[in-house]
């Protein structure tokens, strides 16, 4: 799911309806390619509130689902692994009241998947998180829901997997269970192990909703999360990098590797965005074909099939919940 966010991107002044406002560079991307996003996309309520995106609802049309993020990504002071550090990050205020106000203004008929206000429930007991999530969603029952679970104690960086497994039946109240990539664990194998443990317990207890790995969008890493049991992925890496032959590279190298150095920088970046969307669509098709093969045929992946197969074999040997799987 291609995402748009102002975080980590520069802003610029523009007169809108006679008033000067600051738009995000991500707004350029949305205006340029929004019509061609495909079936799904993610937009942040934080950016809608603060006007960083000019006309985001114009791109709700012809989408099967539009995920509205509650702003936790923009409110977090740190940067994800996909983000080049921008130094000190200056965030604007955004509360659950602000989020509710944004939701009330969105078209009721839009095909929305809305997130809970996870920034406000971080480091709170799981019971509190669940109650707050249900309360928020109750007022917007026309839309499907994405419950993002957070670490439950102050100072804890990662999810308490044992606690989640003991309470998976509570997630049946929601349409999607969300986990952030960095809160799954400290390294890739730990994240995969914990994700597989959650999925396996959900399956054992008949909780069939999909798992969404927030921030887990990368042409090489995303298939591993898919193997571990996640089905929905989002991220802004497709805006920051260029996907080339199955890997994410510095986007300003894309012209050199494809059209040549005569292509101007903005043109190369535009081509990279178009290519990235195509790569994401093909990756989705690869997942579908992999499932159709019973989880046996790695040649369905466009690039690095041998490396993905080797990684999956390591996962099978190291992760108990994957043994006996595909």
User: How confident is the model over 40-72, as pLDDT tens digits?
Assistant: 999 999 999 999 988 888 889 889 999 999 999
pLDDT exceeds cutoff 60 at 87: no
Q: Return the half-sphere exposure (C-beta side, CA atoms, 13 A cut-off) of residue 130.
A: 12
| Joined tokens for residue 102 | 């944004």
pLDDT exceeds cutoff 60 at 255: yes
CB 207 within 8 A of CB 171: yes
Has residue 310 been placed in a domain? no
Q: Which residues of 265-292 are buried (b: 16+ CB within 10 A; e: fewer)?
A: eeebbbbbbebbbebbeebbebbeebee
> Each residue of 178-231: pLDDT tens digit?
999 999 999 999 999 999 999 999 999 999 999 999 998 999 999 999 999 999
CB 43 within 8 A of CB 68: yes
**From CA 215, how far away is CA 292, in angstroms rounded?**
26
pTM for this predicted structure:
0.93
CA distances for 37 relative to 21, 58, 114, 274, 286, angstroms: 26, 12, 19, 9, 18
How much is the pLDDT for 83? Answer: 57
pLDDT exceeds cutoff 60 at 326: no
| Joined tokens for residue 19 | 């008033």
Q: What whole-number percentage of the chain has pLDDT above 70?
A: 93
Has residue 273 been placed in a domain? no
Q: Where are the alpha helices (DSSP H) in the chain?
A: 25-33, 45-50, 72-75, 96-105, 126-138, 161-166, 188-204, 222-228, 237-240, 254-257, 265-292, 305-318
Has residue 170 been placed in a domain? yes
Residue 250's CB is within 10 A of a number of other CB atoms, namely: 12
Q: Return the half-sphere exposure (C-beta side, CA atoms, 13 A cut-off) of residue 76.
A: 21
Element (H, E) at 80: none
**From CA 80, how far away is CA 78, in angstroms rounded?**
7
Has residue 279 been placed in a domain? no
Has residue 288 been placed in a domain? no
Nearest to 270 by CA among 284, 254, 282, 257: 254
How much is the pLDDT for 120? Answer: 96
Range of weakest confidence among 32-41, 96-105, 148-157, 279-288: 32-41
Provide the domain limits for residue 57.
3-245
CA distances for 52 relative to 1, 9, 93, 219, 234, angstroms: 20, 10, 14, 27, 20
pLDDT exceeds cutoff 60 at 85: no
Q: What is the CATH number of the domain that holds 48?
A: 3.20.20.105
pLDDT exceeds cutoff 70 at 77: yes
The predicted model gives 150-167 an average pLDDT of 96
Has residue 78 been placed in a domain? yes
Has residue 304 been placed in a domain? no
Write the CB contacts of 227 (distance below 8 Å, at least 6 apart in sequence): 192, 295, 311, 312, 315, 322, 326
> Each residue of 1-51: pLDDT tens digit?
999 999 988 777 766 666 767 788 788 888 888 888 889 999 999 999 999
CA angle centred on 75, ends 79 and 67, rounded to 5°: 95
Has residue 251 been placed in a domain? no
> Each residue of 121-136: pLDDT tens digit?
999 999 999 999 999 9
Q: Which residue has the tokens 């991500």?
A: 26
Total of domains in the chain: 1
Exposed/middle/buried for residue 139 (C-beta within 10 Å: 0-12, 13-18, 19+): exposed
Summary mean pLDDT of the chain? 91
């Amino acid at each position: 799911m291609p995402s748009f966010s102002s975080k980590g991107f520069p802003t610029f002044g523009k007169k809108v309806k006679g008033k000067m406002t600051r738009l995000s560079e991500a707004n350029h991307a949305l205006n340029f390619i929004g019509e061609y996003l495909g079936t799904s996309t993610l937009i942040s309520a934080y950016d809608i509130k603060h006007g960083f995106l000019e006309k985001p609802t114009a791109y709700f049309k012809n989408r099967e689902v539009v995920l509205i993020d509650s702003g936790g990504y923009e409110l977090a002071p740190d940067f994800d692994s996909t983000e080049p550090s921008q130094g000190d990050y200056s965030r604007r205020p955004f509360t659950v009241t602000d989020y509710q106000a944004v939701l009330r203004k969105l078209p009721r008929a839009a095909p929305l998947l809305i997130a809970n206000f996870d920034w406000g429930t971080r480091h709170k007991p799981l019971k509190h998180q669940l109650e707050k999530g249900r309360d928020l969603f109750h007022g917007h029952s026309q839309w499907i829901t994405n419950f993002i679970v957070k670490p439950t104690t102050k100072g804890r960086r990662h999810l308490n997997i044992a606690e989640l497994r003991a309470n998976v039946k509570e997630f049946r109240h929601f349409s999607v269970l969300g986990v952030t990539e960095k809160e799954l664990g400290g390294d890739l194998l730990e994240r995969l192990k914990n994700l597989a443990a959650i999925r396996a317990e959900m399956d054992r207890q008949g909780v069939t909703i999909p798992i969404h790995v927030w921030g887990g969008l990368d042409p090489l890493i995303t298939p591993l999360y898919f193997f571990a049991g996640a089905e929905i992925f989002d991220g802004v890496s497709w805006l920051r990098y260029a996907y080339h032959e199955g890997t994410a590279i510095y986007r300003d190298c894309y012209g050199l590797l494809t059209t040549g150095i005569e292509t101007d920088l903005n043109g190369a970046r535009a081509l990279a965005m178009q290519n990235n969307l195509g790569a994401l669509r093909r990756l989705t098709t690869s997942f579908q074909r992999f499932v159709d093969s019973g989880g046996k045929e790695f040649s369905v992946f466009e690039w690095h099939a041998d490396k993905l197969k080797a990684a999956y074999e390591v996962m099978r040997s190291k992760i108990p919940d994957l043994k006996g799987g595909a």
